Structure 1
């Protein structure tokens, strides 16, 4: 593939203490069949051998740009990558993961063929040995108008709120930044802002991104404090959705938001004594008032009951959750 005949894609790779996975990640990126790449590695204050690894790659591949910053979190790393990127298109890869050789070419072809604003591919969710640990729902829909794609993103099923596995026209990421005050789930509270700008989105079911779930990942170790960050991200999504009037499938979105809120609440209540995180628990309780307006036909009897029980009788709800 001739570099001069295709537009530049900027691949942004946040990196923090990724010595165990970085070589495989970078090998997969530099061997893309789409060659006109700008590979931006943001070293977020790594203290392991990550620097030795990416310096070796940089010596043999001039497309690699390294930006160093003090440890400030993945949001600031991604934001720094966006500021540095000069490509017409933006793509993300996490340093824990790796991609198939046709990752970028497939995304670009999808986007170009349909004249879309965002292209999406599927991922294989694997453990460190390469075993598939999760299969997400697959849809046969291929092309979506912006509102349909946004609706699916808010449902968080067919299209999910990961920055990776997607190719964006760079103009859609202007004036958008990942929230640096959230220590986790920053992508969940960001991607809907990008999709809200899109007029057309295209998707392939090809699994070209390998998402590696490690034992020390957030999904395995969701602490009460981390769960509360997820709560904040969920509520930001909910506030956005409430201000958007053109989205269909509102029942599915509402149920998905309530499901996530109850999951967060359960994690916090089960893992903290009564006298810990009192303000956070009260904030969640108060926010449930907004969901009292939804009828049982919209959210189902279980969510209808739990929302009311925690809002009116939080102590009783806590005892009920503790027994399950």
Structure 2
């Protein structure tokens, strides 16, 4: 075991009594044995602590960090700060992984002398039924710039922190934003990928991502939708300030698509008086997208950007009717 480098596996958790046992069972049974398992409890009030304390008593690789309920970003940041491994990976407390999750990530990274390795996920409901099959690519090895483009396109490579193995130095110099209560991963992963010279990927589905009915993706409130807007704009501003990239049309269209989705969710679920400042901030930010010609972003996005920027009341009336 000691001939292998140490991997710090970080598990943030909050009120995870329904799922944590399965998660930890899958983690301690990893075929890659040289693990440092860091559980960061974000102020749980249920039986979460009872579960991880039992595992801690039986497995010396487990370390526990407790904090008040500050959110998953602070939990991840604390985990990263405490990590002593050469590499870092994440598992969410409501998900679980195959026994070769860490070994495959490690083998990919070492074999290709890469900075980040990626495995695929199986997107499942709470009963284990597959509910989504994401696009795959014949490409398996990317230079850093190509990997960043794929991340910004958000299809072949997505902005989840899990399902990836990183050189620890990459994460030690980047923090998850603690001012965002959600979508913190979306606004952080591009900063990490921007450091990479080489990224390698496998299509093996070794991570089981469980989508719950009460998850943010199913219940995106106007306020959480606004947090998503802030994350989207951070990605956009980063992209605008980097070396010019190829595929600008597809990246821009992906960003605009998300912005319009967020705007629609906010307008349809608020009165005229609610979130006025937030709606105006979104409208003003649309000015940055007016420079893109219709051939790059398509007629629909071209039209809706201008409609909301110049005629927000008309846009709101039109969207509310749909």
The TM-score bracket by the shorter chain reads: over 0.9
Separation of aligned partners in 2, 1:11 and 1:313: 49
Identify the residue that residue 248 of structure 1 maps to in structure 2: 246
- Give the deviation of 1:246 after TM superposition: 3.7
Identify the residue that residue 139 of structure 1 maps to in structure 2: 137
Contact (CA 8 Å) 1:146, 1:197: kept in 2 or not?
A: yes
1:127-177 per-position Cα deviation (integer Å, ceiling 9, x unaligned): 100001111111111000000000000011100000000000101112200
Matches within 5 A, 1:158-237: 158-237=156-235
Identify the residue that residue 22 of structure 2 maps to in structure 1: 24
- Structure 2 residue aligned with 1:156, among 140, 154, 157? 154
- Give the deviation of 1:92 after TM superposition: 0.2
Identify the residue that residue 312 of structure 1 maps to in structure 2: 310
Contact (CA 8 Å) 1:125, 1:210: kept in 2 or not?
A: yes
State the superposition RMSD in angstroms: 0.5
Identify the residue that residue 130 of structure 1 maps to in structure 2: 128
Separation of aligned partners in 2, 1:234 and 1:314: 20
SS in 2 for 1:293: coil
Can you give the 5+ residue segments of structure 2 that lack an aligned partner in the other structure? none
Identify the residue that residue 106 of structure 1 maps to in structure 2: 104
Separation of aligned partners in 1, 2:296 and 2:273: 35
- Give the deviation of 1:323 after TM superposition: 1.4
TM-score of the superposed pair, with normalisation by structure 1? 0.99
Contact (CA 8 Å) 1:139, 1:158: kept in 2 or not?
A: yes
TM-score of the superposed pair, with normalisation by structure 2? 0.99
- Give the deviation of 1:248 after TM superposition: 1.4
Separation of aligned partners in 2, 1:65 and 1:283: 43
Can you give the 5+ residue segments of structure 1 that lack an aligned partner in the other structure? none
Q: More deviation in 225-234 or 132-141?
A: 132-141
Identify the residue that residue 3 of structure 2 maps to in structure 1: 5
1:42-64 per-position Cα deviation (integer Å, ceiling 9, x unaligned): 01000000101001101110000
Separation of aligned partners in 2, 1:238 and 1:269: 22
Separation of aligned partners in 2, 1:140 and 1:238: 27
Separation of aligned partners in 1, 2:308 and 2:316: 8
- Structure 1 residue aligned with 2:71, among 70, 73, 76? 73
Contact (CA 8 Å) 2:26, 2:97: kept in 1 or not?
A: yes
Contact (CA 8 Å) 1:147, 1:246: kept in 2 or not?
A: no
Structure 1 segments, 4+ long, off by >4 Å, are none
Identify the residue that residue 53 of structure 1 maps to in structure 2: 51
Contact (CA 8 Å) 2:81, 2:172: kept in 1 or not?
A: no
Separation of aligned partners in 1, 2:238 and 2:190: 9
- Give the deviation of 1:88 after TM superposition: 0.1
